[in-house]
């Protein structure tokens, strides 16, 4: 069942339960140290960020496309970009709005997390049912691996 979720200028229609089912499946995740750090660090995010992912049906530790740019900030946080996928659609006006932007529109979850949504899909797992929305993240997280 599709639920309407409003985030800033975004209006999403998301099948939260079907999305959640996809994140319970076995994914072929990268095993490099940078990615392992991300998976572990996302298990320790703030309750606000945890709640955001839960409300969308996403397990933040399961991400199909991820890149790390190392220790960027003065406080030692590492910069990552990546993409999550949801079962659902974007409001038609949002898609049109996006195609006319010279700068990406992002929604700030907190001081370290920014997200955006698109229908230009990359790296969608083959088992993911349609329709699909892609949620891109820009995030600064600590190095938590020992």
pLDDT one-digit tens code per residue, 32-52: 999 999 999 999 999 999 999
Q: What are phi and psi of 12, to 5 degrees?
A: -110, 150
Residue 12 lies in a domain: yes
Mean of pLDDT values over 10-29: 94
How do residues 94-128 score in pLDDT, each as one tens digit? 554 554 455 557 888 999 999 988 888 999 999 99
Helix (H, G, I), strand (E, B) or coil at 34: helix
Q: Give the total number of structural domains in the chain.
A: 1
In this prediction, residue 92 has a pLDDT band, given cuts at 50, 70 and 90, of low
State both tokens at 19: 């999305």
Percentage of the residues of the chain whose pLDDT score is greater than 90? 68
Instruction: Kindly state the DSSP code that residue 28 receives in the 8-state scheme.
Output: -
Note the pLDDT of residue 120.
86
Residue 108 lies in a domain: yes
pLDDT at 76 over 50: yes
* Mean pLDDT rounded to a whole number for the chain: 88
Residue 146 lies in a domain: no
How far apart, in whole angstroms, are the C-alpha atoms of residue 95 and residue 74?
Answer: 36
Q: What does the chain come to in residues?
A: 146
Note the pLDDT of residue 96.
46
In this prediction, residue 9 has a pLDDT band, given cuts at 50, 70 and 90, of confident
Cβ contacts of 9 within 8 Å, gap of 6 or more: 94, 97, 105, 107
Question: In terms of residue numbers, what domain contains 12?
Answer: 3-141
Mean of pLDDT values over 133-144: 93
pLDDT at 93 over 70: no
Note the pLDDT of residue 11.
87
């Amino acid at each position: 069942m599709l639920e309407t979720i409003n985030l800033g200028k975004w209006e999403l229609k998301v099948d939260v339960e079907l999305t959640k089912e996809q994140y319970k499946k076995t994914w072929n995740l990268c095993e490099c140290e940078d990615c392992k750090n991300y998976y572990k660090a996302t298990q320790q995010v703030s309750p606000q960020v945890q709640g955001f992912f839960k409300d969308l049906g996403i397990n933040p530790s399961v991400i199909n496309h991820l890149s790390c740019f190392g220790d960027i900030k003065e406080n030692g946080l590492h910069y990552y970009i990546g993409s999550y996928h949801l079962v659902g659609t974007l409001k038609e006006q949002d898609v049109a709005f996006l195609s006319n932007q010279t700068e990406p529109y992002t929604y700030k979850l907190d001081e370290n997390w920014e997200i955006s949504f698109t229908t230009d899909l990359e790296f969608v797992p083959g088992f993911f049912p349609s329709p699909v929305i892609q949620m891109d993240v820009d995030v600064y997280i600590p190095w938590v691996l020992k």
